[in-house]
């Protein structure tokens, strides 16, 4: 699918991987709608890129529907929205708190599904392009879906669910010419790691076999753009991690 001239929605697009994707798609000629909870950052980025911003909580159907409608004629949907939480299944302080587990799954997994289902439904109305495509949906998992560390049970469960949705969603939508892909990033230089001291960030990057550094958000954006443009990429999760396999801690 051509990026140029297509209308794109980037959920969680105000910062980090989402912002890099919005930049890449806009540079490729897409008309971009940024959906995010952070209105200040989202509006600033939209103004910079000549894009549209819609305030959106991905767990709320009406707000996601409004974002999809704002990107009328939607052909490219990328969901980068997500949160994290660190706590063991059980320990000296008792069992893992229930509410944070539910919140992480709700935002990361259910929120991603919410964007996927509503974006795909809107894409059904599109005329197919020369390849028979009506749209492309890209979701964001994590290598924690496969290599969850100590204290990552909530995050890993939510990201594992996103990975697990990929193939059945692609099969559901294949006859309509809508592709579904997932990117599973490793350690990336995003706001989640921005609060760490530089020494700690460098040490994390050195765990990566090659290149021995944190991933750059624009590398995620480049992969998202390639997925859009390569019609044979469908129903798969791509690890974007420099061959990293996370240790237990």
Listed range (30-44, 92-106, 165-179, 196-210) with the worst mean pLDDT: 196-210
pLDDT at 80: 98
Average the pLDDT over 141-155 and give the result.
96
Share of the chain above pLDDT 90, in %: 93
- Per-residue pLDDT at 29 exceeds 80: yes
Average the pLDDT over 33-58 and give the result.
98
Are 101 and 151 contacting, i.e. CB atoms less than 8 angstroms apart?
A: no
pLDDT at 42: 98
Q: Phi and psi (nearest 5°) for 36? A: -165, 160
Predicted confidence band of residue 11 (pLDDT cuts 50, 70, 90):
very high
Q: Phi and psi (nearest 5°) for 180? A: -130, 125
| Burial of residue 70, with CB atoms counted within 10 A of its CB: 0-12 exposed, 13-18 middle, 19 or more buried | middle
- Per-residue pLDDT at 10 exceeds 90: yes
pLDDT at 112: 98
- Does 155 participate in catalysis according to the annotation? yes
Average the pLDDT over 174-178 and give the result.
98
pLDDT at 191: 80
pLDDT at 202: 86
Average the pLDDT over 168-179 and give the result.
98
Mean pLDDT rounded to a whole number for the chain: 96
Residue 71: strand, helix, or coil: coil
Most distant pair of Cα atoms in the chain: their distance: 60
Which pTM does this prediction carry?
Answer: 0.96
- Per-residue pLDDT at 131 exceeds 80: yes
- Per-residue pLDDT at 17 exceeds 80: yes
| Burial of residue 198, with CB atoms counted within 10 A of its CB: 0-12 exposed, 13-18 middle, 19 or more buried | exposed
- Per-residue pLDDT at 192 exceeds 80: no
- Per-residue pLDDT at 195 exceeds 80: no
- Per-residue pLDDT at 190 exceeds 90: no
Predicted confidence band of residue 146 (pLDDT cuts 50, 70, 90):
very high
pLDDT, tens digit, 9 for 90 and up, residues 237-246: 999 999 999 9
- Per-residue pLDDT at 12 exceeds 80: yes
pLDDT at 203: 86
Q: CA 182, CA 195: separation in Å to the nearest integer?
A: 27
Average the pLDDT over 181-200 and give the result.
86
Catalytic residue among 155, 180, 205, 217: 155
């Amino acid at each position: 699918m051509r990026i140029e001239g297509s209308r794109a929605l980037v959920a969680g697009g105000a910062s980090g991987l989402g912002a890099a994707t919005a930049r890449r798609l806009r540079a490729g000629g897409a008309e971009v709608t940024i959906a995010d909870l952070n209105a200040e950052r989202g509006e600033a980025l939209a103004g910079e890129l000549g894009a549209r911003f819609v305030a959106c909580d991905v767990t709320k159907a009406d707000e996601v529907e409004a974002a999809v409608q704002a990107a009328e004629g939607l052909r490219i949907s990328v969901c980068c929205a997500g949160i994290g939480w660190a706590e063991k299944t059980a320990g000296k302080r008792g069992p893992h708190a229930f509410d944070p587990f539910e919140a992480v799954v709700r935002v990361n997994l259910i929120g991603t599904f919410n964007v996927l289902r509503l974006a795909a439904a809107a894409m059904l109305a599109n005329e197919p392009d020369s390849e028979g495509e009506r749209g492309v949906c890209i979701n964001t998992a994590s290598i924690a879906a496969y290599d969850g560390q100590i204290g990552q049970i909530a995050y890993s469960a939510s990201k594992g669910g996103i990975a697990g949705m990929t193939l059945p969603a692609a099969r559901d939508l294949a006859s309509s010419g809508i592709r579904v892909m997932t990117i599973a990033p490793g350690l990336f230089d995003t706001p989640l790691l921005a609060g760490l001291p530089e020494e700690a960030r460098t040490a994390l990057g050195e765990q990566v076999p090659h290149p021995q550094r944190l991933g750059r958000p624009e590398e995620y954006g480049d992969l998202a753009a390639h997925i859009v443009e390569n019609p044979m990429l469908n129903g798969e999760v791509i690890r974007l991690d420099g061959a990293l396999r996370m240790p237990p801690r």
